[in-house]
Chain A
Amino acid sequence: MSSLLDPAFLRRLGRLRLAVRRRFAGSSAGGRRSTRRGSSAEFAEHRPYYAGDDVRRIDWNAYARLEELVLRLFVAEEDLSLYLLIDRSASLGIGTPPKIELAKQVAAALGYVGLSGSERVSVHPFGDALDAPMAPTRGSKRIGALLRYLDAIEPRGDTDLANTVERFLARSPRPGLVAVISDFFDPGGFQRPLDRLLAQKFEPVLFQVLDREELDPTPGTDVELVDSETGQKVDVSLDARAIAAYRARLFAFFAELESYAKKRGLFYGRVDAEHALDDVVVGYLRQGAR
């Protein structure tokens, strides 16, 4: 087993499933209610009978009351497509441990739960563009392949979430759950690309990974901060005032992300020194268990 998932965490994940707020049409039978009508035991609705319909589905009791032929329709149960969009830009290589490790752990946990629940899981690493994905797969036997794929991801390049989303949509994926795992430090912003996903009937869930130093910079002298992606340099004196100004901006950014997610009914979780990965992931999955 990969170091991405420790046994204790796996035990916590065992009884959980992916939380989804909307229904998606799956590609094959599964355990989730679909937007389609199917053959499950759960009644969905009536509709008028038309010639050629299966006469076994006629609701004769309704006919007795209404003297009209109507069919009983039942909810279909299909699988769910889980897309793991994992940020592998250079900024994820920063931190102790590097933020990319946290991102991989989040992706591994979600992928584990998805595969265990017979969902179709695919991984899409991205930076300023979209890398070759791990093809959609299902079944708990594919967990090993998933972890190996995640292990191989190395941080590099810039971040361009908008371009990533456009290229992702260009692959014409089936609508489903999109887990975006990133630090979201994208100069182009996050709202437009996430809006694009929503518009295309996807449900994004947002996992923000941060390093301790990003959350609470260590005070110091005059330093030259170098952007790991763009190389841009900012001269700053790391005194209390500067750190306070930075944290004000940081928390404003958190609030912006949180507000965005809340308004759209999306999950937003932050994994950092103050929010343990286990708690954030389990907190999300427990929404699906309810």
Chain B
Amino acid sequence: MSLLSPLSLAWLGLLVPLIGLYILRRRREARVVGSTLLWDRAVRDMRAERPWQRLIPYLSLILQALAILLAAFALARPSGIGEVPSGARVVVVVDASASMATRMPGGDTRMDAARGVVIGLADALPAGGTLTLIEAASEPAVLLAPTSDVAEIRHAISQLRVRGAESSLERAVAVGAERVRDAPPGSRIVVITDAASDGEQALAATVPVEVQRVGMDAVNDAIVAVDVRARPSDESPDRAEIFVRVVRHASSPASRWVTASIEGRGVVASRRVELVPNEPESVLMLADLPPDADGRAALVRIELAGDDPAEGQVAAASEDALSLDDLVVAPSPGARRLPVFLVGDAPASVRRVLLADRDVELFQTTLASLAERAASPDRTDLDGVFVYAGETPPSAPQGDSIALAPDGDTLFGVALGAAAENPRIVSWEEDDPRLRFVSFAAVHVASMRPIAGAQARTLVQTDHGALVSSLAHPGGEATLIGFDPDRSDLPDQPGFVILFRNVLERARQRRAEGGIRADRIGEPLRVPAPDGVTVEVRCPDGSTARGLSRGGVAIVDVPALPGVFEANVGRQRLFALRSLLSPSESDPSPRARFVTRAGGTEVEVQEASSPREAWAWLAGLLLVVLVLEATWATRKGAT
């Protein structure tokens, strides 16, 4: 227990003379009377008439006074988390990594406990003291500038969340150290963490750094890796392999179930796995994962369960303290059918390539009909790849598209140069996924329109300018081809087919991921959207997160949950998958070592506690005792 102002306890010395006044009796002349019966009643009458009465050294009175003292002492919460001299600054760094979501025996998470510790620190702030709150996620975030406003502090504490990624306590402490530069004596940095990270962390600062640990060792079974790959067979073209790696962080082995399911179809595969502590165990399951009626890839939910799954229901292992890594959502590779809309009179070679892909569903349309559809009030966005031949709209459509054989001055608004005959290809971007395994070394083009717009990135360069370019936009990307393939020898080469396959495969992948890049749990969603648009994201737990689009992307901070996040951008729905923690975060055991600096002395890790709560209960108990005592003393018939 520590006291904010231990010298103030000297005031308790006043109790000695105070109690002495109660105990010591004045010498009185004794006078024998026949009976004190009436005198006793008269004295009571006098007491009853007065609004106050003489202090009499009843034992109960002294006990009551002591009880009040104790209660006041308790309510003052003298055992704050740490003593803060007057005017000192406290910077609190809270670990927001995924392991802080680990549940403790009482049901609270480590983050809940951390919040309690911060509240204790805030309540222990003396006059003039300030508190700064920094959330240490992958990037440190200052949630609260230095303040002593309790309301602000509590609001900031409520903003603390588990972010998912590994935390960088070192950087967070560095940020905190900046905040307490030239701070008065007694200032310090308090790091609240579960220390569930590997290796050594150097907490360098010019002020003392305290590390308070929340949470003890815990059991966690975690899915640390998943891969779903197509393995078409004669039996089923949609056959897929589901590879899962599971690790048990515990001291004893256990048996668990790994279950794969698809929404609407229930469990499609299940395996029982015997887990040995701290030894990764791999599971391989086969399942048919056909796309849905819209040709979309099925989403596979892979769950780690403690009991035998029945009827598609799974129950988490009761001892599993961290649930974030018990569920993984992955796209299935089975969504091969891709709608392709041919707009205009497509070159025969292009039409031939597309028709040759059995996973392509080809639609012929025109710019006019697309414009008419766009004007319809109840339109829905077409989901597929658009291939424009000749004329193009002023801007690229949502999703992926190809524009070729231009006959206007622009392609999706990108300026075109003057026609050039027999350009010589000088270079191409071999690293671009669309040009993978594609060679333009022996390609001859009869004529071209160089792509001059600076907003497009050149993929194939000729001596007359860009022959093939890429135009990225918030909803996808467009591949701009500045020549008519039929007027070149490219269709005669294998690279032509591969080029289109690469573009289509890239579109498939984007569709399978839902339009937003899949990432780890807790990573913010980067939703492509026009500037100024507020993107609303529905999270797996039913909550909603919002973000304003700037620069073509809305970055939406979402809770650290595994599952499918649905983003609505206007009339377009995009999906994002968040799964898996880093293997380090799945291990909830405290093991990190903290040092003052690289090679410096080790920082002692204290067990964080909230004695404030216990004192509050004790104070409440004392008050109850006081009330009972007073009730007893003033009961009817009491003397």
Contacts and interface: CB of A to CB of B under 8 A. Distances in A.
Interface string A91-113: 11011000100000000000000
A214 B33 contact: yes
A245 B40 contact: no
Given A234-B40, A246-B39, A246-B42, A225 B34 contact: no
Contacts of B26: 222
B313 to A, nearest CB: 79
Contacts of A99: 34
A287 B627 CA distance: 61
Contacts of A250: 38
B41 interface: yes
Interface string B14-52: 000000000000101111111111111111011000000
Contacts of B33: 94, 213-214, 225-228
Contacts of A246: 38-39, 42
Interface size class of B (residues with CB under 8 A): 10 to 19
Contacts of A222: 26, 28-29
A211 interface: yes
B46 A229 contact: no
Interface stretch (A29-37, A52-60, A166-174, A235-243): A235-243
Interface string B280-315: 000000000000000000000000000000000000
A241 B47 CA distance: 12
Nearest to B29: A223
Most chain B CB within a 10 A radius of its CB, from A99, A224, A228, A233:
A224
B31, B33, B46 pick with most chain A CB within 10 angstroms? B33
Contacts of B37: 185, 187, 227
A222 B45 CA distance: 17
Nearest to A224: B28
Contact of A185 (B28, B30, B34, B45): B34
B41 to A, nearest CB: 5
B32 A236 contact: no
Interface string A126-149: 000000000000000000000000
Interface in A168-203: 183, 185, 187
Contacts of A235: 28, 43
A248 B28 CA distance: 24
Given A91-B35, A234-B39, A223 B30 contact: yes
Please indicate which of the listed interface residues B30, B37, B45 has the most CB atoms of chain A within 10 Å of its own CB: B37
A229 B43 contact: no
Contact of B42 (A223, A226, A229, A249): A249
Contacts of A225: 31-33, 36, 39
A43 interface: no
A63 interface: no
A253 interface: yes
Contacts of A230: 36
Contacts of A229: 34-35
B34 A95 contact: yes
Contact of B34 (A214, A221, A224): A214
Interface in A237-277: 241-242, 245-246, 248-250, 253
A3 interface: no
Given A185-B37, A187-B37, A222-B26, A228 B42 contact: no
Contacts of A61: none
A224 B39 CA distance: 11
A185 B40 CA distance: 12
Nearest to A94: B34
Contacts of B30: 223-224, 226, 233
Contacts of A234: 36, 39-40, 43
Contacts of B40: 232, 234
Given A222-B26, A223-B29, A245-B46, A183 B41 contact: no
B45 A249 contact: yes
A230 B169 CA distance: 78
A233 B32 CA distance: 9
Contacts of A221: 29
A227 B35 contact: yes
A92 B43 contact: no
B105 to A, nearest CB: 59
B34, B40, B43: which has the most chain A beta carbons within 10 Å? B34
Contacts of A92: 34
B44 to A, nearest CB: 9
Contacts of B42: 236, 242, 245-246, 248-249
The CB with the most chain B CB atoms within 10 A, among A92, A94, A245, is that of A245
A210 to B, nearest CB: 8
Contacts of A223: 28-31
A227 B38 CA distance: 11
A199 B110 CA distance: 82
Interface string B314-330: 00000000000000000
Interface in B43-83: 43, 45-46
Residue among B33, B35, B41, B43 facing the most chain A CB atoms (10 A cut-off): B35
Contacts of A94: 32-34
B34 A226 contact: no
Given A221-B29, A224-B29, A236 B43 contact: yes
10 contacts: A185-B37, A226-B31, A227-B34, A227-B36, A234-B36, A235-B28, A236-B42, A248-B42, A248-B45, A249-B38
Interface of A: 91-92, 94-95, 99, 183, 185, 187, 211, 213-214, 220-230, 232-236, 241-242, 245-246, 248-250, 253
